[in-house]
Amino acid sequence: MSEQHNRLSVFKTYKLYVGGKFPRSESGRVYEVSDTKGNWLANAPLSSRKDARDAVVAARKAFGGWSGATAYNRGQVLYRVAEMLEGRREQFVREVADAEGLSKGKAAAVVDATIDRWVWYAGWTDKIAQVVGGANPVAGPYFNLSSPEPTGVVAVLAPQESSFLGLVSVVAPVIATGNTAVVVASERAPLPALSLGEVLATSDVPGGVVNVLSGRTAEIAAPLAAHQDVNAIDLAGADESLAKELEVAAADNLKRVLRPQPVDDWFATPGIDRMTAFLETKTVWHPTGALGASGSSY
């Protein structure tokens, strides 16, 4: 065995992603993240209630601009995310393999599916309104149009098991339609989510549109479910008893609640349900008037 000196690698400090910046938890806390065999991978921030509230402030601030952007623009930005992910493919394959105990080949398949999912949702931004909205043939001289609009700030509890494909499968539909998100990463496997923050930061996604927190799901989710400036919550990453507790808290300001759905296969092409769960329908009545000699007709 030769006495060759191996270069010492540079570790990454995993940080939160809030308002387009990469803060540590304000609490100064971290927790150990291990691979499925128990080997130490990194220390991830252990977010506090205050971190959750800060993330809501950032998400609310970003909502006006993101929901007001054209659907075409949102599609361009989301497609850019897929481009940036493609460039970091190897990194994510490694992180997903570690996080989920997958072979390199299987992890690569997960990452490829994840990138494709971004592309899928990028294409939806300027189509969903035509699918779920439209003119209503009311019995009267009115033009009546229903259009979907984003609900607002959505708290997203990412799936616990599928740390990357599952994560993107719940985050992308929320922001594709113009919502902004506070995402609680998989508790055991938060690293792919924290790295996703780095991708978003370099993808033209405005700061605050997606905010990523790591830590104890129950600890972070409680203040989000009770927060009066959060409009909706996706409970994908909550177990049965936590989900019930959070749904009760969410009733205080009548958040839209997406209960945990059993997902057998994250690879399957999703339907539009995860988008429509966080859309409101606005219906506007316009008098059509008449072109008679009588003039104005309303």
Partner 1 sequence: MTIEKRSSAFEYAPAPESRAIVDIAPSYGLFIDGEFIEAADGKVFKTLSPSTEEVLSEVAQAGEADVERAVKAARKAFETWSALPGSERAKYLFRIARIVQERSRELAVLETLDNGKPIRETRDADLPLVAAHFFYYAGWADKLEHAGFGPHPRPLGVAGQVIPWNFPLLMLAWKIAPALATGNTVVLKPAETTPLSALFFADICRQAGLPKGVVNILPGYGDAGAALVAHPGVDKVAFTGSTAVGKEIARTVAGTRKKLTLELGGKGANIVFDDAPLDQAVEGIVNGIFFNQGQVCCAGSRLLVQESVHDELLDALKRRLGTLRLGDPLDKNTDIGAINSAEQLARITALAERGEAEGAERWSPACDLPESGYWFAPTLFTNVTQAHTIAREEIFGPVLSVLTFRTPDEAVAKANNTPYGLSAGIWTEKGSRILAVANKLRAGVVWSNTFNKFDPTSPFGGYKESGFGREGGRHGLEAYLDV
Cβ-based nearer residue to partner 1, 198 or 234: 234
Nearest to 189 by CA among 261, 92, 257: 92
Cα separations in angstroms, 287 against 234, 274, 294: 38, 34, 15
Using CB under 8 A as the binding rule, the residues of this chain from 144 to 163 that contact partner 1 are 144, 146, 151
Nearest to 174 by CA among 204, 151, 205, 196: 151
The DSSP bridge pattern shows strands 153-157 and 40-45 to be: unpaired
239 binds partner 1 (CB under 8 A): no
Rounded Cα distance between 215 and 29, Å, is: 9
Taking the complex as a whole, the smallest distance from the CB of residue 274 to partner 1 amounts, in Å, to 12
Backbone torsions φ then ψ of 285, nearest 5 degrees:
-100, 130
Among 127, 253, 261, 290, interactor with partner 1 by CB under 8 A: 253
Reduced to 3 states (helix: H, G, I; strand: E, B; else coil), residue 19 is coil
267 binds partner 1 (CB under 8 A): no
Nearest to 129 by CA among 79, 171, 75: 75
Only segment of 12-20, 40-48, 212-220, 251-259 that touches partner 1 (CB under 8 A): 251-259
Taking the complex as a whole, the smallest distance from the CB of residue 55 to partner 1 amounts, in Å, to 20
229 binds partner 1 (CB under 8 A): no
Taking the complex as a whole, the smallest distance from the CB of residue 204 to partner 1 amounts, in Å, to 24
70 binds partner 1 (CB under 8 A): no
Cβ-based nearer residue to partner 1, 71 or 119: 71
Site string for partner 1, 120-139 (x = CB under 8 A): -----------xx---xxxx
Cβ–Cβ under 8 Å, residues 145 and 135: yes
268 binds partner 1 (CB under 8 A): no
Cβ–Cβ under 8 Å, residues 61 and 208: yes
Among 264, 271, 291, 294, interactor with partner 1 by CB under 8 A: 271
Alpha helices (runs of H) in 138-265, residue ranges in sequence order: 165-176, 191-201, 217-226, 240-250
Question: Per DSSP, what are the bridge partners of residue 148?
Answer: 281
Q: If binding means CB under 8 A, how many residues of this protein chain bind partner 1?
A: 36
> Footprint of partner 1 on this chain (CB under 8 A)?
131-132, 136-140, 142, 144, 146, 151, 231, 240, 243-244, 247-248, 250-254, 256-257, 271, 273, 280-287, 296, 298
